[in-house]
Amino acid sequence: MSNEQLPVISIDQADTVELIELLEFVEAWLADASPVVNADYRHFVDNAYTLTALRTDLLTWAARLALAPGESR
């Protein structure tokens, strides 16, 4: 693992809340998506990235955005 620090990006708190809500909305929509949506997704990514992995990543990003500056998980 690199000791290189990641760049710090500032985002307005209201925009952060909106982005978190959007990520959670998309994850919830995908959780209840019809089999047609699931099939289209699999076709689009050619099974390289599962819908479950995408949903997990969406929630991970939402949780990271919700952390106070300087916190980590």
Give the residue-averaged pLDDT of 11-18.
Answer: 93
pLDDT bracket for residue 48 (50, 70, 90): confident
For residue range 31-42, what is the model confidence (pLDDT) as tens digits? Answer: 999 999 999 999
**HEC secondary structure over the chain:** CCCCCCCCCCCCHHHHHHHHHHHHHHHHHHHCCCHHHHHHHHHHHCCCCCHHHHHHHHHHHHHHHHCCCCCCC
* pTM of the shown model: 0.76
User: Does the pLDDT of residue 58 top 90, yes or no?
Assistant: yes
- pLDDT at residue 8 is higher than 90: no
Amino acid 22: pLDDT = 98
